[in-house]
């Protein structure tokens, strides 16, 4: 762990093994952090805050920029670590590590925008408004895209003058530790960013409950997010950001560019083996294009190469854990029992290289009942249910039938269709002729049970500050 600029073990000297999901092999181990370790980290962050908050935003931005340059220089050495611990193909790991650098660069670029206001009040006098940091903030990062989510939380918090305690996933903590060490190497003062590894039940709970935390930012499942919200509110008045699950619909209108939409559906669903909160999880096709679309989609999904992500020829890696795969097997078996038609996939691949990992074939299913779990709940894996509609109103009704509201996409050349989908669909972000991409400039977050608050953009930076007003009477 990294506490106060020092590498340290846990107070109880316990460890957690990190395992490669493609091979079952031991990768490394990290300390199993305790509540005492979390308290040490919060104390270190509190001690560092007084100095860090006095550093100008421009100087903080320079450190982020320097760190981004170091990450870009070393991305080919960092990316394999992400593949070994998480399972994703190496080119996706390269993209994610570069994405982390991109996030740091964006916030470095807007560092000068963190300015106050002068408000003339005529005969009454004048007002001044400044942005102050919140203090010590906490962040809990998931295993599926740890580098990107770490960037979303760390960069605006630090640029805003806050210090932070970060808890990465217990099954994929290594990349986060490595990136945190690069930030310190780039000039981040000791204690400004602390990393406590450990389980969510122990270290995560202790972090959320800590009374000296001013804000907690959590990314993960809706079920765990509800627990985080309850614990944080019990612990006192602290700001809360929750980025939770999703069941994103992809609506393909009859005038869509079908080859491009097929590619978008494949990337949107099978990127990171479908283990992404804003992945395409429900595909809705207009009845006039369904046959042609499914023919192309099925052929291309069937040709995806599944294997160990460290192989550059692999298109899709394993699921992250045995429990993740068991969940997918249950979903597909249920759809079979409900009468769903599997066009491709639906099985564990057999043969050399598959026996020790958590692999599953990329799967496309049609004739899925409306009340199926595949359409109502978040399916975190490479299973794509496809439904047909005849009118846009019908598509929107189906798209909004989920309790989630993270993202949605519409594929069309018709601007009127785009306007209607944007106006009617219940989601925090709507893509047009693309899905999944979230640049750091664009605010990201959900509605309904997909969370509260927003990552990214200048809005995220401002949400890591509070305003303070000065009224000078004339």
Taking only the tens place, the pLDDT of each residue in 96-146 is 999 999 999 999 999 988 888 999 999 999 999 999 999 999 999 999 999
Question: pLDDT value at position 102?
Answer: 98
Domain that holds residue 52: 2-244+450-473
88, 153, 167, 238: which is the annotated catalytic residue? 153
Q: Which residue has the tokens 């000297």?
A: 13
pLDDT at 339: 93
User: Does the pLDDT value for residue 190 go beyond 90?
Assistant: yes
What average pLDDT does range 263-280 have in this prediction?
Answer: 98
Phi-psi region of 369 (alpha: psi -120 to 50; beta: other; left: phi over 0): beta
Report the pLDDT value the prediction gives residue 237, as an integer from 0 to 100. 79
Alpha helix segments (H runs only) across 160-282? 174-185, 205-209, 222-234, 258-270
Q: Is residue 445 part of a domain?
A: no
CA dihedral of residues 224, 230, 231, 235 (deg, nearest 10)? 160
The pLDDT, as a whole number, for residue 115 is 85
Kindly state the average pLDDT of the residues 454-466. Answer: 96
153 is annotated as an active-site residue: yes
Residues 210, 272, single domain; the answer is no
Same domain, 237 and 268: no
Catalytic residue, from 85, 86, 137, 277: name it: 277
Same domain, 232 and 300: no
Number of domains in the chain: 2
Residue 177, in any domain of the structure: yes
pLDDT of residue 137: 98
- The backbone region for 365, taken as left when phi is positive above 0, alpha when psi lies in -120 to 50, beta otherwise, is beta
239 and 253 both lie in a single domain = no
Do residue 139 and residue 182 come from a single domain?
yes
In a domain, 364, yes or no: yes
Average pLDDT over residues 45-60: 97
Average pLDDT over residues 56-65: 97
Reference 305, options 354, 262, 341, 260; nearest CA is: 354
**Is 126 considered catalytic here?**
no
Average pLDDT value for residue range 454-468: 96
pLDDT(162) > 90: yes
Q: What confidence category does residue 236 fall into, taking pLDDT thresholds of 50, 70 and 90?
A: confident
What is the per-residue pLDDT for 113?
Answer: 86
**Structure token digits, residue 386:** 């496809």
Residue 444 lies in a domain: no
Kindly state whether residues 221 and 294 are assigned to the same domain: no
C-beta separation of 82 from 147 below 8 A:
yes
76 and 197 fall within a common domain: yes
Crossing angle for the helix pair 290-302 and 258-270, to the nearest 10 degrees: 50
Q: In this structure, is residue 314 part of a structural domain?
A: yes
> Are residues 369 and 223 part of one domain?
no
Separation between Cα atoms, residue 98 and residue 101, nearest integer Å: 5
Q: How far apart are CA 161 and CA 56, in angstroms?
A: 8
State yes or no: pLDDT of 398 exceeds 90.
yes
Binned at pLDDT 50, 70 and 90, residue 197 comes out as very high
Q: Mean pLDDT over residues 12-23, rounded?
A: 97
Question: Average pLDDT over the chain, rounded to whole?
Answer: 97
User: Among residues of the chain, what percentage have pLDDT more than 90?
Assistant: 96
In a domain, 117, yes or no: yes
Q: Is residue 322 a contact partner of residue 358, using CB atoms and an 8 Å limit? A: yes
Task: With a cut of 90, say whether residue 350 has pLDDT above it.
Answer: yes
Do 389 and 462 reside in the same domain of the chain? no
Active site residue 238: no
Whether 468 and 429 share a structural domain: no
- Of 32, 96, 378, 455, which is the active-site residue? 455
Q: Is 455 annotated as catalytic?
A: yes
What residues have CB less than 8 Å from 71, skipping those under 6 apart? 78, 97, 98, 100, 101, 104, 179, 182
219 shares a domain with 335: no
Whichever domain contains 355, its CATH number is 3.40.309.10
Tell me the mean pLDDT in the region 288-303. Answer: 98
Per-residue pLDDT, 116: 87
Cα dihedral 465, 471, 472, 474 in deg (nearest 10): 150
CA dihedral 417→419→241→138, nearest 10 degrees, is 80
Flag the least confident range among 176-190, 205-219, 229-243: 229-243
Report the distance separating Cα 236 and Cα 208, nearest Å: 10
Query: How confident is the model at residue 114, as a pLDDT?
Result: 86
- In CATH, what number is assigned to the domain containing residue 146? 3.40.605.10
Q: Is 168 among the domain residues? A: yes
Evaluate whether 203 touches 167 at the Cβ level (below 8 Å).
yes
Do residues 397 and 429 both lie within one domain? yes
d(CA 366, CA 369): 9
290 located within any domain: yes
Residues sharing a CB contact under 8 Å with residue 455, sequence separation 6 or more, in sequence order: 152, 153, 217, 241, 243, 443, 444, 445
List the catalytic residue out of 85, 92, 96, 243. 243
pTM of the model: 0.97
């Amino acid at each position: 762990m990294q506490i106060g600029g020092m590498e340290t073990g846990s107070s109880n000297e316990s460890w957690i093994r990190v395992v490669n999901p493609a091979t079952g092999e031991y990768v490394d181990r990290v300390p199993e952090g305790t509540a005492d370790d979390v308290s040490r980290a919060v104390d270190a962050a509190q001690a560092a805050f007084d100095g860090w908050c006095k550093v100008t935003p421009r100087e903080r931005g320079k450190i982020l920029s320097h760190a981004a340059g170091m990450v870009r220089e070393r991305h080919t050495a960092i990316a394999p670590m992400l593949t070994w611990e998480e399972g994703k193909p190496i080119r996706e790991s390269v993209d994610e590590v570069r994405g982390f650098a991109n996030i740091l660069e964006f916030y470095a670029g807007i560092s000068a925008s963190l300015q106050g206001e002068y408000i003339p009040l005529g005969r009454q006098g004048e007002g001044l408004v400044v942005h102050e940091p919140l203090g010590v903030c906490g962040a809990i990062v998931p295993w599926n895209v740890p580098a990107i989510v770490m960037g979303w939380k760390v960069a605006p918090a630090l640029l805003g003058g806050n210090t932070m305690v970060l808890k990465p996933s217990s099954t994929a903590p290594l990349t986060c530790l490595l990136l945190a060490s690069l930030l310190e190497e780039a000039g981040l003062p000791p204690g400004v960013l602390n990393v406590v590894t450990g389980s969510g039940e122990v270290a995560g709970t202790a972090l959320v409950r800590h009374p000296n935390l001013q804000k907690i930012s959590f990314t993960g499942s809706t079920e765990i997010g509800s627990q985080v919200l309850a614990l944080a509110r019990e612990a006192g008045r602290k700001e809360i950001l929750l980025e939770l699950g999703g069941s994103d619909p992809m609506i393909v209108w009859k005038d869509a560019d079908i080859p491009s939409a097929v590619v978008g559906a494949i990337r949107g669903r099978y990127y990171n083996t479908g283990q992404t909160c804003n992945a395409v999880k429900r595909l809705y096709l207009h009845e006039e294009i369904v046959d042609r679309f499914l023919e192309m989609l099925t052929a291309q999904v069937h040709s995806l190469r599944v294997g160990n992500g460290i192989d550059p020829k692999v298109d899709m890696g394993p699921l992250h854990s045995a429990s993740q795969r068991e969940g997918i097997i249950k979903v597909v078996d249920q759809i079979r029992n409900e009468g769903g038609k599997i066009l491709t996939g639906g099985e564990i691949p057999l043969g050399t290289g598959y026996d020790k990992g958590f692999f599953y074939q990329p799967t496309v299913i049609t004739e899925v009942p409306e009340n199926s779990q595949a359409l109502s709940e978040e399916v975190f894996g490479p299973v794509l249910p496809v439904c047909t509609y005849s009118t846009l109103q019908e598509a929107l009704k189906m798209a909004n039938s989920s309790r989630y509201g993270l993202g949605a996409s519409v594929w069309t050349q018709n601007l009127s269709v785009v306007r209607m989908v944007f106006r009617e669909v219940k989601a925090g972000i709507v893509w047009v002729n693309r899905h999944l991409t979230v640049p750091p400039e664009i605010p990201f977050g959900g509605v309904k049970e997909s969370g509260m608050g927003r990552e990214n953009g200048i809005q995220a930076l401002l949400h890591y500050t509070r305003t303070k007003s000065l009224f000078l009477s004339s």
